[in-house]
Amino acid sequence: MQVIATRPNTLTDLNFTYCPGCLHGVAHRLIAEAIDELGMRNQMMGVAPVGCSVFAYKFFNIDMQEAAHGRAPALATGMKRARPDMNVFTYQGDGDLAAIGTAEIVHAANRGEHITVFFVNNAIYGMTGGQMAPTTLPDMKTTTSPYGRDVDDIGYPIRVCELLNTLVAPYFIERVSLLSPAEIMKAKKAVLKALTYNKEERGFTFIEFVSTCPTNWGLDALESRDWAREHMLPFFKVQNFRDKGIEEAK
């Protein structure tokens, strides 16, 4: 029997333009499915980043804004405060969020802004040529670290979930993986919970997706997932860091 997947209403009918094996499309679909299931499409706005998903506004069938590089949380803050009747999310990569946007994400989380942030971590700058990112692993080779990331010179990768978990205000923080169907199903549950809290106006919610970049890693789709499982997951451990909803229910 042939199974044909239906397209979520929160996605447009345009085909994704991401590289073969890229997992942005998976992340987009999880978010769109969750918005549909929660009945939030007519009350949802999103912010697209600068990076590989710079054209996310073409794929999400909701009102979207384009932010300057790294400024998505600041823009989302303004959108939510101007339209408190709407729900808002940002969609960002590691170069956008963890490098030029470090101040914006930390202070938005510290203020407890009522937004959801989706953070795609593939340990590299994807769109601009495979440069070293704040999340690039120790000894990992990139176009700007051809001999590998030297932590004595450059420092260690930034673990964003752990960093934000030191703050008091965030309501929900979780890191998930997109490396297998089983992990994708678990990621969907986290996305649903983050957006449920968003709908209920609970506070700042944050999802990190451990993802891949086959093109800049120089690997095919399956090899890139194996590499991420072997190298990324030990450093960026999949786990829930905070869920105040569970704490409040006790």
CA distance 96 to 9: 27
pLDDT tens-digit map of 201-245: 999 999 999 999 999 999 999 999 999 999 999 999 999 999 999
Q: Please, what's the b/e burial string for 189-208 (b: 16 or more CB within 10 A of its CB; e: otherwise)?
A: ebbbbbbbbbbeebbbbbbb
What is Dmax (Cα atoms) for the chain? 56
Confidence of residue 4 (pLDDT cuts 50, 70, 90): low
Residue 2 has pLDDT above 60, yes or no: no
CA distance 162 to 227: 22
CB 54 within 8 A of CB 87: no
Confidence of residue 90 (pLDDT cuts 50, 70, 90): very high
Flag whether the pTM goes above 0.75.
yes
DSSP letter at 35 equals H
Dihedrals phi, psi of 25, to nearest 5 degrees:
-60, -40
Which amino acid does the sequence have at 166?
A: T
Q: Which domains can be identified in the chain, with CATH numbers?
A: 24-245 (3.40.50.970)
CB 74 within 8 A of CB 228: no
Within 10 angstroms of residue 100's Cβ, the number of other Cβ atoms is 15
Structure tokens at 155: 């420092």
pLDDT tens-digit map of 164-191: 999 999 999 999 999 999 999 999 999 9
How far separated are the first and last CA of the chain, in Å rounded? 45
Helix H segments across 69-218? Answer: 72-82, 94-95, 102-111, 151-154, 160-164, 181-199, 214-217
pLDDT tens-digit map of 22-78: 999 999 999 999 999 999 999 999 999 999 999 999 999 999 999 999 999 999 999
